[in-house]
Amino acid sequence: MKKITKLLALLLALLMLCATTAFAADLPAGAVLLSDSKKIDPNAVKLIAYRGLSAVAPANTLAAISLAGRCGCDGVELDIQPTLDGEWVCISGVSLRPMTGVNGTVYTTTVAELNELTITGGNGVANYPNEKIPTLRQAITVANLYNLKLVLTINGGSDDSQQIIIKNINNLVNTLKFMGVAKTATVVSAEKSVLSAVQAAGGRAALNTLVPLLAVGECIDNGYVGFSAVLTDPLTISNAASHNLEVYGNDTTTIFGADLIYGLGARTIVSSSIVRHAPEQENVIASIYTKASVTFRNIWNKIVVFFQNIFKSLAMDALFSQLGVQV
């Protein structure tokens, strides 16, 4: 059994080493190169793709996440909501209509029912005709293949929404732990009750605030790892940096806007369009995964989790760390 397991580990290692090549395609319509800036040191900033590369592909989809990785982004910001049966999925807002054209809400729909829907809204949808609303597990699978940091935003201001969200926070954090990203993924919300639930479950919480001048103090007082806000004050950004807080601005779609927040001292740029380079040829494993059926993806995730447990028991973490694979 040990010999078979080691052989499987070696095979997966070889796949990961040859999965990405340097061949690049043309810059897709809607994308902007960071190198167009004359002010930003590209080595000094982190690029977080807003809802994936959502200026090019429909927001929060596997296609948008994969594009972010292929174009050299360092992370992705994704909106997440819980389904009726407690599975977290990637979608902005509760209503299904904007992205699928179907009446209904995420909260009243099971993940199996969501799997029957196809994305019909969003940028570049004609180029990605078969996209689905991905589960968070599926999104993490693709993000991990490109070593992307995860910033997960939970929107929901009504009392009913908060109750549903809080009820499912343990499921969320357990998913992050199960997929090996609980120590790096950041969960963002404007609701302190939601953030408290995230912290109680062992997750990393960041505040979405309309008052950035107070954000640093609130983060220190409440143990938040950072905040998201409209960035206008260099002193707040500098103060946040001195306390090692993560700082996320709003979606910055132009180089002019990126130059402005860089000039304020921000070293993380959240953008739906700004990239480091044209897309590299798609990671082979990611290509198979993103183009596969929902059923295949679910089976894939179960197999991955099974072998993750085996590899952990055989102390294979060091090998996977070198390969950039989180287990």
Q: Are 280 and 21 in contact (CB under 8 A)?
A: yes
pLDDT of residue 285: 77
How far is the C-alpha of 170 from the C-alpha of 178, rounded, in Å?
12
Residues 273 and 320 in one domain: no
Closest CA to 196 of 230, 154, 229, 233: 154
Query: What is the distance, to the nearest Å, from the Cα of residue 179 to the centroid of all Cα atoms in its chain?
Result: 13
| pLDDT of residue 292 exceeding 90 | no
pLDDT of residue 286: 77
Residues 91 and 9 in one domain: no
Question: Distances in Å between the alpha carbon of 82 and those of 42, 163, 172, 220?
Answer: 36, 11, 8, 29
* Number of structural domains in the chain: 2
The answer to whether residue 289 is domain-embedded is no
The answer to whether residue 288 is domain-embedded is no
| pLDDT of residue 317 exceeding 60 | no
Residues 256 and 318 in one domain: no
How far is the C-alpha of 53 from the C-alpha of 31, rounded, in Å?
8
The answer to whether residue 210 is domain-embedded is yes
Q: What are phi and psi of 127, to 5 degrees?
A: -85, -10
Give the pLDDT band of residue 305 (cuts 50, 70, 90). Answer: low
The answer to whether residue 224 is domain-embedded is yes
Which CATH number is 114's domain given?
Answer: 3.20.20.190
Give the pLDDT band of residue 300 (cuts 50, 70, 90). Answer: confident
pLDDT of residue 308: 58
How far is the C-alpha of 28 from the C-alpha of 21, rounded, in Å?
18
Q: What is the sign, positive or negative, of the torsion defined by CA atoms of 92, 95, 101, 102?
A: positive
Q: Write out pLDDT tens, residues 222-246.
A: 999 999 999 999 999 999 999 999 9
Specify the higher pLDDT residue, 281 or 137: 137
Q: Write out pLDDT tens, residues 10-23.
A: 444 444 444 444 44
How far is the C-alpha of 31 from the C-alpha of 56, rounded, in Å?
7
pLDDT of residue 270: 98
The answer to whether residue 287 is domain-embedded is no
Q: Compute the radius of gyration of the chain from its Cα atoms.
A: 19
Residues 74 and 111 in one domain: yes
What is this structure's pTM? 0.85
Looking up tokens 């009504």 gives 158
Q: Are 272 and 304 in contact (CB under 8 A)?
A: no
| pLDDT of residue 249 exceeding 80 | yes
Q: Where are the beta strands (DSSP E) in 192-326?
A: 205-208, 226-228, 246-248, 268-271, 274-275
The answer to whether residue 57 is domain-embedded is yes
Percent of the chain with pLDDT strictly greater than 70:
84
Neighbours of 26 (CB within 10 A): 8
Largest CA distance in the chain: 59
The answer to whether residue 316 is domain-embedded is yes
pLDDT of residue 21: 43
Residues 128 and 103 in one domain: yes
- Residue 102's SS3 state is coil
Q: What are phi and psi of 207, to 5 degrees?
A: -90, 130
- Residue 86's domain comprises 23-282
Q: Tell me the average pLDDT of the chain.
A: 88
Residues 51 and 12 in one domain: no
Q: Write out pLDDT tens, residues 145-182.
A: 999 999 999 998 677 888 999 999 999 999 999 999 99
How far is the C-alpha of 275 from the C-alpha of 67, rounded, in Å?
10
Q: Are 110 and 84 in contact (CB under 8 A)?
A: yes
Question: Distances in Å between the alpha carbon of 319 and those of 13, 146, 161, 281?
Answer: 8, 17, 42, 24
Residues 2 and 131 in one domain: no
Residues 10 and 39 in one domain: no
Residues 211 and 325 in one domain: no
How far is the C-alpha of 85 from the C-alpha of 210, rounded, in Å?
32
Residues 27 and 46 in one domain: yes
Percent of the chain with pLDDT strictly greater than 90:
75
Q: What is the sign, positive or negative, of the torsion defined by CA atoms of 164, 167, 173, 179?
A: negative
Closest CA to 228 of 42, 219, 45: 219
How far is the C-alpha of 35 from the C-alpha of 278, rounded, in Å?
11
Q: Write out pLDDT tens, residues 202-224.
A: 999 999 999 999 999 999 999 99
Residues 152 and 221 in one domain: yes
| pLDDT of residue 40 exceeding 60 | yes
Residues 205 and 220 in one domain: yes
pLDDT of residue 303: 75
What is the tally of helices (H) and strands (E) in the chain?
Answer: 14, 11
